Structures are given as C-alpha cells and as structure tokens.
Structure 1
Amino acid sequence: MKGSKATVLSFAEKCKNILASNWQGHLNTIKADAKGSKEDIYTSKVKYILRRGKPYIWVPEKELHNVNTIIDERGSFSVTSPFPGALASLFRSIQKLPARVALTGDVLPHKDEKSAAECLEEVILSEQKTISEFSYTVSGVLSSSDVYNTSRSENLKLLLDGDEKYTIYKFNPRSCIYIDGNGGTHEVNLEDMDASKADLLAPFSAKLIDGINQSEARRRALMLFCLTLLKANVKDAYMVSMDRKGFNVLGMIPSPALKDGLGQYQWKEFRLKLKEEARDVEKFCSQLVEMEEEAVKNVSSFSGLG
C-alpha cells in the first residue's frame, strides 16, 4: 500500500474507485444445459451496487445467466472507469480503452432480496441528497453534464421504477485484475481490496468528468494546466479520470515532424496532482477552480512580460 504522500493510488484503490464510480458492468457466465457446463460464455450488461465491498447484481429474469448459474456458479464481472459523452467518442476515434476492473468468482443468488432492494433505495436517496446539497462551486462544474447518462442514481432508479423483474445475485470475487488504459494488467490481492476504501467523490466522477469535458472554458483550463504545470503545449484536452490525489488528462500534442516537414498530432495522457487530497466532491471542485484561477494568472503575467 502506498503512503499518503504518494501522488497516485494503489491498484487496489483504483479498482475500488472504478467499482464505486460505475453502476453497470459486463457479467459473464458459462452457458449450460441439463447435461452440464459447456465452454461457451454468455455475456450481457447488467446494473449493480457495491455493498460491503462486493457487487450485488440485478439480472433481468429473461437473461440466460439465471439458467447458467444453476448449473455452474462460476463467472466473471468487468467494470470500466466511466467515459461519458464526448470522452467516449474520443476513445473510439483513437482506439483507446478506459481503465477497468476484471473480477472472477462465484455468482450466487441473494436470498434476501428485500434487504438488497432497501440497500439500493438507500444508495439512490443518499446520492440524490448529496447532489441537492452541493455548493454553487460544485453545481458550476456539473452544470454542463448530461444528467441521465452520468447520474448513478437516475440509472439505478430504473431498477425500482420499471416493469422488468430481476433476480439479485451476490458476486463473490476469487481474483481481481486491474487493466490500465494501455492494456497493461496488474493482479490485485483481494486482502488489499478488502482493506481499501473508495474515494467519497468516486460515485460522482462520471458527472464531474462529463461536466468538465462538455465545457469549452474548463477544457481550455485543462490545456493551461498542461502548459503552466507540466510545460506541455497541448492543442486540446479532456479529463479522463479523477481521484482524491489528482486527475488524468488526455492532451493533443504535436507528433514528430514527417519527411515533408509537416507534423501531425497525437494524444498523450498527463497526470496532474492536487495540492491537498480532496476527500469529497466539494474539496475537489474548489481546488479545481483555484487551479484554474492560478493558471490564468500565470499565463497573464507571462504574456505581460512579453
């Protein structure tokens, strides 16, 4: 486990944050019939919540997972770091994948569906209450975000409000792998996962990332951060992830010159750290606004010297 002075999170902390920041993932179970398990895999997108660190998954009754798990309870569950709106289009255009978590384990029916439903409702109400109490600073950052594509509570509410019936499963992990944005795999000890806690801002990261990326002014600020803090001259920038220690930005930088002397552009990921750990959304947004003001001052003073 890295110390508190580290500028990046441990792999276990990154996994916990991804699981806490999303509300849907891909469940994989082994196709089965009355004769037993086959080797074919059935995959579908499902919604989930975290409870005591473990995913509780809502599977529509029509899904084959409900038959498969009766014969063979083994499965896997993968969840990506949120990449909402404009970020999804950019990732597709440059063939980049977001960081993600891959769990293998057992998919077990949750016998007490009433308690799971109550827990789901509690998660939704808690998030809605937090959003309603956000300050003007946070609301300003979120103002550009797409509510329905980035709100965990709005998406989870469909499980309660819709007509579809679900079977609830508890996913008991037996292994965990963190896959970074470059495709590198890192095995994570389950004991480290159990000991790690997700950042308080993780459940709101999709809204924050989208709010920043949908705002031209805030994306210009990301470009200024790269220039003033990292001495990187970027032509465009998007935020790709955030945590209590800092955030990652994809910046468009010039490629090496070609034979004809004309250069192209490529996307490079940069890490920007916060001055202080942001324990919650309020602290993250207030530091972001301070950084924007400082960056503008730095550029203005530099221009004045010119």
Structure 2
Amino acid sequence: MRKVPVRVALVGDLMRLKDEKAKLAAESLRETLLADDRAVKASSYSVSGLLSSSYVGCTSRSANLQELLEGTKQYSIYRFNLSSCMYIDGNGGIHEVNLEDIEKSKADPLSPFSMSLIDGINQSEMRRRALVLFCITFLNENAKDAFLLSVDRKGFDVLGKVLGPIKDDGSREYQWKELRFTFKDEARDAEKFCQQLLEMEEEALKSISRFSGI
C-alpha cells in the first residue's frame, strides 16, 4: 500500500511516582477499566459482538492493563512530563505540535474501543463492502476495496483502493488513498458509532436504489 501508519513522537522526562501516588494512579486506572467493561456489557448485542470479534490473537488494551493490575509481578508507575511532540503523518512528514494544544486536549471517548472496532470491521467482508459503498456514494470515489484506518467521535478514516488519474495513454490504475468520513452528530460511545455507520449504510443503499431506478 506504500502508506506508513500515522505516529506521534513524544519527548520528555519520566518521573517515578512514590508509593502513595502510585496507589492512587493504580486505583484510577482500575476504575477506568471497570467503566470500559460496563460500557461494553451495556451495549447492544450487535455492538458487543463487533467488539468481541476482533482477531483472537490480539489482546485488548484493557485486558493487558487488567492483567497487570491483578498479577503478582511487581511494577512501577511513572509520570511523563512532556517537553515536545511531533506528529508524523501517513507520508512520513513531520510536524511540530504546540504543547498548549496537547495540554488542553482530552482523550477521545472512543479510544478504549478503537482497536476492537477497527479490527472487527476489517475482518468482516460484509462490513468492508459497506466501506466501499461509502467511498462510492458519499465521496464519489470508484473503490473496489477498503479498510478502516482510525475512528473518533467526529468520524472515521478509510484506506480505499480507488481509481487513480487518467494516464497519458488513457489508462487508469487502482491506488490506495486515505479518505475521511465525518458524522452528522458526534459519536460519544461505541453504540452511537455503530448506529451512525448503520444509518450511513441505509442512506447509501437508498441513494444507489434511486440512481439505478430500482
């Protein structure tokens, strides 16, 4: 695909927390993981099925952290004092990020479930066909394959295999292109995210039906 994953490089100092503060941090993490687990259990059957259908060899972030908290191995907790941040885009370009923007930012509400959503959708041929349909209907891109790249409360990014520009000899080849889809309303949880995908799919099918005269 000749596309590198988007990355963020963080530079700073690590400060080991003292025992009392480390215990508070561990308790805060435990409460966060419990909240994530409650959110999954409270979701609909289709959403919980999607989240649990990710690749069996890929252990979730929550499971890894839970194993750490409940395990017998000793661990230390460090505070990371950020001094600089660089954003590395999909083409390898490096962009400096203002530290004030980092300090003001908050974690996206979908971040605990992002990897499970991405993996669950990409492993399903039916769901990937829906992504292809989105490319054709909403962005007018002639796609024949697509993978979900990232998700957030405002939308999602797709890597689509679409027709490239016309060459001098009149031919066209398929090439991988990064595409962005924006939601009408923000998705504050995995349930809302999947609901918006379903609504987009219904809208795309209606659009194709009208175009084909069915």
1:154 aligns with 2:68: no
Letter in 2 for 1:178: Y
Q: Per the alignment, do residues 160 and 147 of structure 1 end up closer, same or farther by CA in structure 2, a change over 3 Å counting?
A: farther
In the other structure, the counterpart of 1:35 is none
> Post-superposition shift, 1:260?
8.1
Aligned-pair identity in percent equals 60
1:139 aligns with 2:32: no
Letter in 1 for 2:90: G
| 1:79-135: CA deviation from partner (whole Å, max 9, x where unpaired) | xxxxxxxxxxxxxxx242221221111111111332232223222222111111112
SS of structure 2 residue aligned to 1:301: helix
Q: Match for 2:174 among 265, 269, 276? A: 265
Q: Hey, what's the Cα distance between the residues in 2 that align with 1:133 and 1:153?
A: 16
1:170 aligns with 2:79: yes
Higher strand share: 1
In the other structure, the counterpart of 2:186 is 277
Q: Per the alignment, do residues 134 and 230 of structure 1 end up closer, same or farther by CA in structure 2, a change over 3 Å counting?
A: same
Q: Hey, what's the Cα distance between the residues in 2 that align with 1:107 and 1:162?
A: 24
SS of structure 2 residue aligned to 1:139: helix
In the other structure, the counterpart of 2:16 is 109
Q: Hey, what's the Cα distance between the residues in 2 that align with 1:256 and 1:191?
A: 40
Higher helix share: 2
Q: Hey, what's the Cα distance between the residues in 2 that align with 1:272 and 1:196?
A: 22
Q: Per the alignment, do residues 159 and 286 of structure 1 end up closer, same or farther by CA in structure 2, a change over 3 Å counting?
A: same
Q: Match for 2:3 among 71, 96, 105? A: 96
Gaps of 5+ in 1: 1-93
TM-score, normalised via structure 1 length: 0.63
SS of structure 1 residue aligned to 2:207: helix
Letter in 2 for 1:295: A
> Post-superposition shift, 1:228?
0.6
Q: Hey, what's the Cα distance between the residues in 2 that align with 1:236 and 1:256?
A: 17
> Post-superposition shift, 1:143?
4.9
Q: Hey, what's the Cα distance between the residues in 1 that align with 2:49 and 2:139?
A: 26
Do the aligned residues in 1 keep the contact of 2:16 with 2:79 (CA within 8 Å)?
Answer: yes
Gaps of 5+ in 2: none
Q: Hey, what's the Cα distance between the residues in 2 that align with 1:291 and 1:188?
A: 33
Give aligned pairs, total: 212
